[in-house]
Amino acid sequence: QVQLTESGGGVVQAGGSLQLSCKASGIYLGNYHVGWFRQAPGKERECVARISRSGVAQYYADAVKGRFTVSRQNTKNTVSLQMNNLGPEDTAVYSCALSTMVGSSPDPATYNSWGQGTQVTVSS
């Protein structure tokens, strides 16, 4: 059974950094595209970053481009999201998710396994 566990969230001041981790169990993570999503209160879930199975291709939402970096370590069944220069607008619950589609997509509907999420709060 697939299980995804996110960690690394917390409270940070504006301008600070956090690194989130998504650890998979029950599967080999290298068989999946992985997306990082966030959802703030009252807002729709959005894909902030995604990474291809091999890790060669990464995609970012415009709002985080240049500040967030997604990477993966398939041998450790882990995907990470390094977040720098955080602002209050980045406050949300962050979740990782897996996709078996041929190509990765920012559409949450194309992801079929989700973690519980980790809260990121950025104070001004």
Residue 102 has pLDDT above 80, yes or no: no
Q: Which residues make Cβ contacts (< 8 Å) with residue 56, sequence separation at least 6?
A: none
Question: Residues 101, 104, 106, 108: is their CA dihedral positive or negative?
Answer: positive
Condensed to tens digits (0 to 9), the pLDDT of residues 29-44 reads: 999 999 999 999 999 9
**Cβ neighbours of 41 (radius 10 Å):** 7
Condensed to tens digits (0 to 9), the pLDDT of residues 66-83 reads: 999 999 999 999 999 999
